[in-house]
Structure 1
Amino acid sequence: MTKPDYLFEVSWEVCNKVGGIHTVIASKALTLQKTLKDNYILIGPGIWQDIEGNAEFEEDNNLLLQWKQKARSEGLDFKIGRWKIPGKPIAILVNFSSFFEKKDKIFAEFWEKFRLDSISGGWDYIEPVIFGYASGKVIESYYRFFISSKDTILSQFHEWMTGSGILYLKERVPQIATAFTTHATVLGRAIAGNNLPLYSELNKLDANTLAKQFNIQAKQSLEKIAANEADVFTTVSELTNNECKQFLEKPVDVITPNGFEKNLLPDDKTWLTQRIIGRKKLKTITQAIINQPIPEDALFINISGRYEFKNKGIDLFIEALNRIEATTRTIVAFILVPAGHAGPRLEILERIHYENFDNPITSCYLTHYLFNKDTDPIIQRLFQSGLNNGTNQNIKVIFSPVYLNGEDGIINISYYNLLPAFDLTIYPSYYEPWGYTPLESIAFKIPTITTSLAGFSHWVKSLRDIENNS
C-alpha cells in the first residue's frame, strides 16, 4: 500500500474530547507520527477563548511561521502547536468565527454545486459546517505554500461535522485526495436514541422520511453527500456499513476497525501500582459521598462514555443493578459519564479529609455539582429504581459527570490510570458502531461485558470464527 507524503486529519475532537473519536485519533497518532513525522497534521476547532485553558494543546509560535504569516494575510486565523498526546503531532486549531458572516454565501455555493440542503440546519449544524469549510481552506493554503506536484496528500475527515471540508477541497483543490470516515450515522443515532427499532427494521426504513421526522435533514444531507463525494469512504464496522447502504445509498470502500496503541498500556508493575492507588481513591470518594464505610473486598464496577441514556445502555445498567438479588458483598457502581457541571462538591472535599460515619447519607450520588439535577435522566432513574445508597443496601452508586483528565478536583486521576482499579466494566449499548470502552477495558486487563449490538463484539466474534475454521 502506498503511503501519502502528507496526511491531514480533521475532526471536531482534535484537542477537544467529546466522545470516542478523540480516542480513535489520539491512540493512533504515535504510529502515524513515527511514519510521517511532521507531515502528519491534525486540525481541530479553536473553540477555546483562552487557548491556555486547553490542557491538551501546547502552542508553538515558531512552528511553520512563514506559512502561518502567509495564511493570516489570506484571512485565515488559527493556532499551531502540538497535541499533548504520545507522539506529540502537529495540531492546528482553527478559529472559524470570521466565516459566520459569510455563511449564507457558503451554503448557497454548496447548494448550487452539490445540492447540500442546509435550509433546516440549526446552530448545531451551522457551527461544524463552517469549521469544516475553514479547515478545507487551511489545507488548501498549506498545499499551495509547501507541496509540489510530485507530492501526494491525503485529507481524512471524521464524521458529518467535517464533511463540508471534503466539498470545499473537491471544488477548489481536487488533486488533494479525500477520505470520509463515519463512526456512526446521523439517522442511526437518532433512531436508536428515540427508542425505535433500528436493526430489525433497517431494510424498511426510509431515510428522507425519518430525517424530516427528527428534523435532521441538513445533517443527513451533508453526511450523504460527503460519503458519495469523497475519494474513499470508510467506517468502523459492518454494522455501520449496513446503515450506510440504507441511509446514504453508498456502501463503504473499506471497513477500518479501530485499534489501540499498545505503547499506551502500562507494564505489570505500573498497572499494579495504578490499581492500588485507584482502589484507594474509589473507596475514599464513595465513603465521602455516602458517609458510610466501604469494605476492602468491595467489587468496583463502572459504565462510561458519552451521555446517551438509551444508546449507551445507561438505562439497562441501572436496571441491572436494581435486579441484583441480595448479595453479601458490597458492589460500588461508578457511572463515569460527562455532563454539565459546576465543579467539585465542596462538602465531598471536606468529608474526604474528615471522615465521620456517624451520620450516613442516602440518595446522594454526585462527585460534582450537576446542572439541571432535578431533571437529569440518570438521577431520576436512580430515584425511581430505589437505589438510594441506604445503609441496608449493598449496592452503592456514584455518578461522576466529568471527563477524567486528572484535574477534575475530586478523583484527579486520568481515565486510563483509573481503569485498572475496577474489577469489571459493563457497556450494555443499544447503539454502538464500534465500542472503544470495552476494547480499552480488555487492553487494561479488566473483564468487560458488552452487547451483540456493538461493532467491537462483532469483530471479536469474527476472530473466533476464523480461529474455529482454521
Structure 2
Amino acid sequence: MDKKPVNIDLLFETSWEVCNKIGGIYTVLSTKAKTLQNLYKDKNIFIGPDVWTEDTPSPYFTPSRTVLKEWKAQAKLPYGITVRCGRWEVPGRPIVVLVKFDGLYQEKDSFYGRMWDLYGVDSLHAYGDYDEACAFSHAAGIVIESICDFVGIRDKNVVAHFDEWTTAMGLLYVKDVLPSVATIFTTHATCIGRSICGNGKPLYDYLRAYDGDQMARELNMESKHSLEKAAAHQADCFTTVSDITAIECEQLLQRRPVVTPNGFEQNFVPNKGKFPKVREAARKVLLNVASSLVGRKLPEDTFIVATSGRCEYRNKGIDLYLDAIARLRDLAPTRTVVAFVMVPAWCRDPRPDLQHTLPAKRKTRLPEPELTHTLNNPDSDPIICRIRQIGFANEKGDKVNVIYVPCYLNGADGIFNTAYYDLLIGMDATVFPSYYEPWGYTPLESVAFGVPTVTTTLSGFGQWVLATDENTFDACGVNVIARGDFNYDEVAARIANSLKYLISADQQQTTLIRSRAINLASLAAWSYFIEYYVDAFRIALDSARMRATED
C-alpha cells in the first residue's frame, strides 16, 4: 500500500452520527477526525443531521460565524433546507455542517421516482426510519452540491464519503448531479446481515446459501436493502470495516468491498500520570452506586466487569454475557463481583430512591437492587427479564451481583453523572461476546483504557487480534473465544473461566495484563489505520477520473 497522502482538495463525510452520539459510527468518525485534520487541514467537512433544539443542544457541536462564512452567505438552498456551520468538539476540531432537512419530505415521491429510474432503488416498501434517513441524506447531497458549485471543482480532487445505508440517497444524488466527484460508500453492517441475526436465524454456517434480495423480501427489508445495494454498486469505492463483513457484503450485496478497519484516537485516554487518579475516581463512583443498590459497602477489591453497547440483545451477545456471569457465580469466585450491563434501553428517569441513597453513609438494600433507572417497559425488556429469570437478587452474602444501567452514560444521567469513558477506566474487565459485530469498538476502547476484555471470533476486532498477536490475556490483554452458530453453552463456560482467571491473578500479573492491553490498542491507532482510507480515496479518485475520460 502506498503510504503517501492522496492529494485532495475537498473531502466530505456524511453520517447520521456526526455530532450525534448514537452508536459505533460516532466513535469511528470522532476518533478519525484528528488524523484526517493532520492530512487535510480543514479540507475535510463532516455533514450531519440538525436534530437539535435550543432546549436540547448538541453537546458536541460549537457554532462558528467564520467557518464556511462566504459560502453560507450566498448559499440559496432549496426546499427550506437550513444549515449551521461550526466545529465538532473532538480531537482535531473538524469543520461540521449540520443540516435541517424537514422540507425534503414533501419532495420524497419525485426524488424516489428519479432514484428508481436511475438506479433501480425500490422505495415502495419503505417504513420506519427510511423516509427520515433519505430526507437527511438528500439534503446533505444538496449541501455538497452547493459547496462544490461555490468553490468550483473543475480539475479538482473532490471526495464525498457516505456512511451506512442512512446516507445512501445522498451518494446517489451526488453521483447524479456531480459525476466528477469521487464517491465512497461504507457499510458498517449490512441491513440484511443484521436483520438475519436479529431474527434469530443462523448467519455464518448458511451464509453462502443466502440470497440478499430474497432475504430482504422475507424479512420485509426490501427498501433498505435495495438502497444499500445500489449505493454499494454505484460508489467509486465500496468499503467495510472488517474481513468478516467483507465476506457478508460480497454474498448479500454482491460486491466485494475494500476493508478499512476502525482505529482509535489515543487522545481520549488519560496520560500515564493521571491514569491512577482517574481510575480510582471511576471505581469510587461505580462502587458507590453498586453499594447503594445492594445495601452494603462493597470491598475495595471488588472485581468490576461490564458489557456495553447498542441494545441488541442477541447480536451484541448480552444474553450470553448474562449467562456467563451466572456460570461465574457457580464457580465461586474468590472476590466479590459486580457485573454491569451498560446498555441504553427505554428508560424513563433515574430512580429517586437511589439518588437519595447515594450520598448517605448508612445504606439499606433498595427494592429492585439490580436497576439504576426506571424502565418504561420492565415486563418486556429482555435484559431485566433475563436478570430476574437467572435469579440475580443482589442479596447480602451474594458473591456475584448484576446491575443494569439502561441509559446513555453522557455525564448527565442522574445517577453516575460520569461519562462512559470516565467509568470504563475503573473496570477490571469487560466482556463483548457478540454474535454479529462487523468491527467491535467496545473491546478496542476497553484495551485502550488498559482494561482486559473478552470478545469473539465473530467480531472484526476479534479477528484482527488473532491476526496481530497471541490470543491470551498475558500476551495482549484480550481473550478471543471461538463462537459459531451452535456453541452457545460452550462459549458461556469459557467466558466464565476467563473471568475467573482474571479474578485470581495477582497484582503483578494484573499489571502486566493491563500493560499488554494498552500496547495492543496502540497498534490500532488511526495513525496506522488511516492508510486504508487513503487507499480508498485513491481508488475512488481513479475511478472518477476514468469515468470522466469515458464521458
TM-score normalised per structure 1: 0.95
Q: Is the 8 A contact 2:81 2:102 kept in 1?
A: no
The question of whether the paired residues in 2 share the 8 Å contact of 1:136 and 1:169 is answered with: yes
Q: Which runs of 5+ in 1 are unaligned?
A: none
Q: Does 1:352 align with 2:329?
A: no
**Is contact 1:203–1:246 with CA below 8 Å preserved after alignment?**
yes
Letter in 2 for 1:209: Q
Alignment partner of 2:420 out of 406, 415, 418: 415
CA contact (8 A) 1:291 1:355 kept: no
Q: Which of 211, 236, 239 is residue 241 of structure 2 equivalent to?
A: 236
Counterpart code for 2:464: W
Please tell me the residue identity of whatever aligns with 1:288: S
Alignment partner for residue 462 of structure 2, among 457, 465, 468? 457
Look up the match of 1:339: 345
Aligned pairs (5 A) from 1:304-323: 304-323=308-327
Matches within 5 A, 1:6-45: 6-45=10-49
8 Å contact from structure 1 (residues 361, 390) kept in 2: no
Contact 1:363 1:383 in 2 (8 A): no
> Equivalent residue for 2:272?
268
Q: Relative to 1, partners in 2 of residues 1:73 and 1:122: Cα closer, same or farther, differing over 3 Å?
A: closer
Q: Structure 2 CA distance, aligned partners of 1:227 and 1:33?
A: 26
Give 1:52 shift.
5.5
Counterpart CA distance in 2 for 1:64 and 1:260 is 28
% of aligned pairs identical? 44
Aligned-partner Cα distance in 1 for 2:240–2:187: 5
Alignment of 1:243-262 (within 5 A): 243-252=248-257, 254-262=258-266
**Residue in structure 2 matched with residue 290 of structure 1 by the alignment:** 294
Q: For the residues of structure 2 that align with 1:17 and 1:277, how far apart are their CA atoms?
A: 24
Per the alignment, in what secondary structure is the counterpart of residue 381 of structure 1? helix
* Structure 1 counterpart of 2:486: none
CA deviation after TM superposition for structure 1 residue 90, in Å: 1.0
Shift of 1:355: 3.4
Out of 2, 9, 26, which is 1:5 matched to? 9
- Alpha-carbon shift at residue 268 of structure 1 (Å): 1.4
Counterparts of 1:264 and 1:384, CA distance in 2: 38
Q: 1:164, CA displacement in angstroms? A: 0.6
- What whole-Å deviation, never above 9, does each CA across 1:254-292 have from its counterpart, x for those lacking one? 211111112332211211111100001011011122222
Which amino acid in structure 2 is aligned with residue 303 of structure 1? T
The structural deviation recorded for 1:193 is 1.2
Shift of 1:62: 3.6
Residue 51 of structure 1: how far off its partner (Å): 7.3
RMSD between aligned residues: 1.6
1:181 aligned to which of 177, 186, 201: 186
1:329 corresponds to 2:335 = yes
Confirm or deny: 8 A CA contact 1:117 1:221 kept in the other structure.
yes
Find the counterpart in structure 2 of residue 145 from structure 1: 150
Quick one: which amino acid aligns to residue 335 of structure 2? Answer: R
Partners of 1:96 and 1:187 in 2: CA distance = 27
Shift of 1:3: 3.2
- Tell me which of 358, 379, 384 is aligned to 1:379: 384
Compute the displacement of 1:175 (Å). Answer: 0.9
The 2-side partners of 1:62 and 1:343 are apart by 39
- Partner SS state of residue 154, structure 1: strand
Amino acid at match of 2:292: A
Aligned position for 1:202: 207
Which amino acid in structure 1 is aligned with residue 93 of structure 2?
K
The amino acid across from 1:370 in the alignment is L
CA contact (8 A) 1:362 1:389 kept: no
- CA shift, 1:362, in A, is 5.2
1:280 maps to: 284
Q: CA deviation at 1:399?
A: 1.4
Tell me how far apart the structure 2 counterparts of residues 429 and 73 of structure 1 sit (CA, whole Å).
43
Contact residue 309 and residue 316 of structure 2 kept, 8 A: yes
CA distance in structure 1 between the partners assigned to 2:243 and 2:110 by the alignment: 38
Q: 1:364 deviation in Å? A: 2.5
Q: What TM-score comes out, normalization by structure 2 length?
A: 0.82
Give the Cα separation in 1 of the matches to 2:392 and 2:56. 41
Residue of 61, 64, 77 corresponding to 2:82:
77
Give 3-state SS (helix, strand or coil) of 1:426's partner.
Answer: strand
Q: 1:221 aligns with which of 208, 220, 226?
A: 226
Provide the residue aligned with 2:522 in structure 1. none
Which secondary structure does the structure 1 equivalent of 2:86 belong to? strand
SS at match of 2:91: coil
Q: SS where residue 133 of structure 2 aligns? A: helix
Counterpart of 1:396 in structure 2 is 401
Structure-1 separation of matches of 2:309 and 2:64: 32
What is the Cα deviation at residue 199 of structure 1? 0.9
Tell me how far apart the structure 2 counterparts of residues 9 and 206 of structure 1 sit (CA, whole Å). Answer: 30
Give the CA deviation at 1:44.
0.6
Which secondary structure state, in structure 2, belongs to the residue aligned with residue 184 of structure 1? coil
Cross-structure match for 2:506: none
Partners in 2 of 1:411 and 1:232 — Cα distance? 43
Amino acid at match of 2:252: F
User: Deviation at 1:73?
Assistant: 5.1
Per-residue Cα deviation, 1:35-66 (whole angstroms, up to 9, x for no partner): 22221110111112337621111112342233
- Does the 8 A contact of 2:171 with 2:235 survive in 1? yes
1:381-425 CA deviation, whole Å, 9 max, x = no partner? 011111111223211111112222222222122222221100000
Partner of 2:72 in structure 1? 68
Letter in 2 for 1:350: H
1:25 offset after TM fit, Å?
0.5
Separation in structure 1 between the aligned mates of residue 361 and residue 75 of structure 2, nearest angstrom: 57
Residue type of the alignment partner of 2:442:
T
Of 426, 433, 441 in structure 1, the residue corresponding to residue 431 of structure 2 is: 426
CA distance in 2, matches of 1:430, 1:148: 44
The CA deviation at 1:375 is 1.3
Per-residue CA deviation, residues 173-194 of structure 1 (Å, 9 max, x unaligned), is 1111100011111111011111
State the match for 2:495 in structure 1: none
Aligned residues: 464
Aligned to 1:116: 121
Name stretches of at least 5 consecutive residues in structure 2 with no aligned partner: 476-551
Query: 3-state DSSP class of the match of 1:375?
Result: coil
Give the Cα–Cα distance (whole angstroms) in 2 for the partners of residues 392 and 188 of structure 1: 43
